[in-house]
Amino acid sequence: MAPVCSSTIQRNIWAIAMGFGLLGALALAPMGHPLLQPALAQSQPGPDPSLSIMTVEQLEAILQGEADVVQGGDGQWEVTLGDRNLLVLANFPSNRMRILTPVAPVTELSVEQVQSILLANFHTTLDARYAITEGTVVSLYVHPLQSLQANDLRSALRQVASLAETFGSSYSSGELLFDQNAPNRPEAATELEARLLL
């Protein structure tokens, strides 16, 4: 594999954010780019037989029904929800899927923003998370493909878009808050967190 220039990757990721398209940026990415490689995961038990098994084709059909625009295919799509472009990657043999969108360059983060995204990953992000890849903060959702249910996929799309949109303000997936300051939060949970954080 040829070495990948970090500035090239950052340029491609920011091409996404500037509206040149996720698939266009991926097309420019070198073959060894991590986003183009199947994710290696721990072996998992088979899907619950009482649930339907998500396929790449079913995932694409759901994307067509949920997104304003869907481009791509064969496990790699760029979808548009409102003003936000998201990349959806799926690999049936590896039983993995992910949804992501760029948020901000790591070099532009303040210490307070880093602390805020780490706190948000625990309290306000629900199933999506902030993550860092190739020098860029992204909003990310990762799930086994075959056990993914249609409503979970719909929720994940909204959560990833919301995390990107609320970066710098509420840092929220917009659906459910597991807030440490909620008035009905059990006191035992707060005490346990305090002990663990010491």
Residue 161 counted as domain residue = yes
Please count the structural domains in the chain. 1
Higher pLDDT, 195 or 85: 85
Taken in order 13, 14, 16, 20, the sign of the CA dihedral is: negative
State the CB neighbour count (10 A cutoff) for residue 128. 29
> With 50 as the cut, is the pLDDT of residue 183 above it?
no
Tell me the per-residue pLDDT of 109-118, one tens digit each, with 9 for 90 and over. 999 999 999 9
pLDDT band at 44 (very low <50, low <70, confident <90, very high): low
Taken in order 38, 84, 115, 105, the sign of the CA dihedral is: positive
Nearest of 105, 78, 104, 102 to residue 89 by alpha carbon? 78
Residue 35 counted as domain residue = no
Residue 33 counted as domain residue = no
The CATH number of whichever domain residue 93 belongs to comes to 3.30.1460.10
User: Could you tell me the pTM of the whole model?
Assistant: 0.70
Q: What is the dihedral of CA 90, 91, 94, 100, to 10 degrees?
A: -30
Q: What is the dihedral of CA 185, 187, 193, 195, to 10 degrees?
A: 170
Residue 23 counted as domain residue = no
Residue 41 counted as domain residue = no
Structural domain harbouring 151: 53-197
Nearest of 124, 133, 135, 102 to residue 17 by alpha carbon? 102
Nearest of 132, 134, 140 to residue 164 by alpha carbon? 140
pLDDT value for 50: 73
